[in-house]
Structure 1
Amino acid sequence: MKCLVKAPAKINLTLDVLHKRPDGYHEVEMVMTTIDLADRIELSDDNSSRVKLMSEFRFVPNDHRNLAYQAAELFRKRMGITRGVNIYLEKNIPVAAGLAGGSSDAAAVLRGLNDLWQVGLTKDELAIMGEELGSDVPFCVYGGTALSTGRGEKIQPLPAPPTCWVILAKPSIGVSTADVYHALKVNRIEHPNTKDMCKALEMKNYDQMCASVGNVLEPVTTRMHKEVKLIKDQMKRFGADAVLMSGSGPTVFGLVRHESRLHRIYNGLRGFCDQVYAVRLLGERENLAKNLA
């Protein structure tokens, strides 16, 4: 038996840090949405009673260091399944980019094994399981657009953003999320207006959405890596309607409504970094489900 699953990337329309919690994590408030840039995962039943992960992308570990591998082990343990599984991972999302590629892979494995082995868990149950793997995994289980709070594991669905293009540009560097959070001065944060962003999505107001983007981690990563600011400045100069770093970076995204401007920005950015993508938003959970079929 085989199962094919799509693992889409996400971008942060807002990312706010409220305070550091007693458990050592940060209390966050984020608006995230999935985009049409995705890894593809093939799962197949195996009689060896082992998890085997394969990928042609040389920077992807094929053992417990990989969240997709961890997800398969966790699912088997929780469900008492002794059968093994082969995981083939086609990697399209940049690694260590602030796009939740690893978390989305883990979420896709949970969804895929639930179908492959006909376990019958709900999305809510899969999301709770995903909390053990990482703060972004519950959102990636659901997909679509949502307000994420707590450590990121509390998910409140939101309407899909207004239709637009997304330009992504990732410089040839990796960013440690732990290092970025460690350098963040919580008492000096200029907080984005998450309520305005939620209102913009509810009203399908593109201009208000563009005006409400914000990420408190962006200044921290920019101080560490000047390439992020360079790309952001160029994207603004080429005419993106809104420009923001996603997650802890270093990927910068721009929102663009008009296709003619999209091509100008895309071609201009190719001179500044190798990894540039032009994609669409995937929309609401129901639409995401259709895209994953």
Structure 2
Amino acid sequence: MQIFEKAPAKINLSLDVLYKRGDGYHEVEMVMTTIDLADRLDLSLLAEDRIIIESESRFVPNDERNLAFRAAKLMKDTYHVRQGVRIIIEKNIPVAAGLAGGSSDAAAVLRGLNRLWELGLTEKQLALLGSEIGSDVAFCVYGGTALATGRGEQIEHLPTPPPCWVILAKPEIGVSTQSIYENLDLSDAPHPNTKAMITSLKENDFGQLCQHVGNTLEYVTIDLYPEVEHIKTQMKQAGGDAVLMSGSGPTVFALVQYDTRARRIYNSLKGFCDEVYRVRLLGNRADTC
């Protein structure tokens, strides 16, 4: 038996860090939405009781460093599954980019193994399991557009954003989320207006949405990696309707309403940055699988 799963990337339309909790995590409010840039996962049963991860990408480890491996192991251990699985990952999402590529792979493994091993788990059960692996995995189980609170595991579904193009550019660096949080000073950090962002989604107002994008972590990453600011400037000058860093970075995205302008921004960045993508927003939960 063989199962195929799509693992779409996400962007943060809004990311606010409220305070550091007693358990060491940070309390966050994040409005996230999926985009049409995705890894592809092929899951098949193995006769032997083991987990095999395969990928042509040299950036994809095949052991517990890989969130997809950890997701499979967690499901095996939790539900006492004796069957093995081979997971082939076609990697299209940049690694360590602020786009939740690893988390989305893990979520795809949870969804796929639920079908492959016929466990009959609900999305809510899968999301709860995913929250043990990483803060973005619960959102990635559902996909679509949502407000994520707590440390990211509490999910409230939101309306799909107005349709638009997304231009993504990732500089040739990887960013550690842990290091960004370690350098975060909340006493002097900017805070986006999460309520206004949610209202813009509910009213399907693209102009208001663009006005209220924001990311508390952005100034930290820019201080450590000035090239992020250079990409932002390039995107703004080329006509992005809204420009923001996603997650802890370093990927920067521009929301663009019109195709001709999206093409212009894409072309202007191609000579400036190796990893540039022009995709559509998904934002709809039905597009996750």
Instruction: State the TM bucket, normalised to the shorter chain.
Output: over 0.9
2:287 equivalent in structure 1: 288
- Partner AA of 1:158 in structure 2: L
Any residues of structure 2 matched to 1:51-66 within 5 Å, and which?
51-66=51-66
Q: Do residues 67 (structure 1) and 91 (structure 2) align?
A: no
- Partner AA of 2:74 in structure 1: L
**TM-score normalised per structure 2:** 0.99
Structure 1 consecutive aligned stretches of length 4 or more whose deviation exceeds 6 Å: none
CA displacement at 1:118 relative to structure 2: 1.3
2:260 equivalent in structure 1: 260
CA displacement at 1:117 relative to structure 2: 1.4
Q: Do residues 190 (structure 1) and 216 (structure 2) align?
A: no
Q: Do residues 175 (structure 1) and 175 (structure 2) align?
A: yes
CA displacement at 1:187 relative to structure 2: 1.3
1:36 equivalent in structure 2: 36
Q: Do residues 97 (structure 1) and 103 (structure 2) align?
A: no
CA displacement at 1:249 relative to structure 2: 0.1
CA displacement at 1:283 relative to structure 2: 2.2
Any residues of structure 2 matched to 1:65-144 within 5 Å, and which?
65-144=65-144
Residues 1-29 of structure 1 show CA distances to partners (whole Å, capped at 9, x for unaligned) of 00000000000000000000000000000
Report the Cα distance in structure 1 between the residues aligned to 2:63 and 2:191, rounded to whole angstroms: 38
Q: Do residues 272 (structure 1) and 239 (structure 2) align?
A: no
Q: Do residues 20 (structure 1) and 37 (structure 2) align?
A: no
Report the Cα distance in structure 1 between the residues aligned to 2:84 and 2:118, rounded to whole angstroms: 15
CA displacement at 1:284 relative to structure 2: 2.2
Report the Cα distance in structure 2 between the residues aligned to 1:50 and 1:145, rounded to whole angstroms: 34
2:209 equivalent in structure 1: 209
1:45 equivalent in structure 2: 45
- Partner AA of 1:208 in structure 2: Q
Any residues of structure 2 matched to 1:141-152 within 5 Å, and which?
141-152=141-152
Report the Cα distance in structure 2 between the residues aligned to 1:21 and 1:64, rounded to whole angstroms: 27
**TM-score normalised per structure 1:** 0.98
Report the Cα distance in structure 1 between the residues aligned to 2:175 and 2:117, rounded to whole angstroms: 36
Unmatched runs of 5 consecutive residues or more in structure 2? none
Report the Cα distance in structure 2 between the residues aligned to 1:102 and 1:190, rounded to whole angstroms: 27
- Partner AA of 1:156 in structure 2: E
Residues 192-225 of structure 1 show CA distances to partners (whole Å, capped at 9, x for unaligned) of 0000000000000000000000001000000000
Report the Cα distance in structure 2 between the residues aligned to 1:190 and 1:276, rounded to whole angstroms: 27
- Partner AA of 1:288 in structure 2: D
Report the Cα distance in structure 2 between the residues aligned to 1:226 and 1:189, rounded to whole angstroms: 18
Q: Secondary structure of 1:44's match? A: strand
CA displacement at 1:188 relative to structure 2: 1.1
Q: Secondary structure of 2:272's match? A: coil
Q: Secondary structure of 2:49's match? A: coil
1:225 equivalent in structure 2: 225
1:162 equivalent in structure 2: 162
1:3 equivalent in structure 2: 3
CA displacement at 1:47 relative to structure 2: 1.1
Residues 167-210 of structure 1 show CA distances to partners (whole Å, capped at 9, x for unaligned) of 00000000010000000001112210000000000000000000
Aligned pair count reads: 289
CA displacement at 1:259 relative to structure 2: 0.4
- RMSD over aligned Cα, in angstroms? 0.6
Unmatched runs of 5 consecutive residues or more in structure 1? none
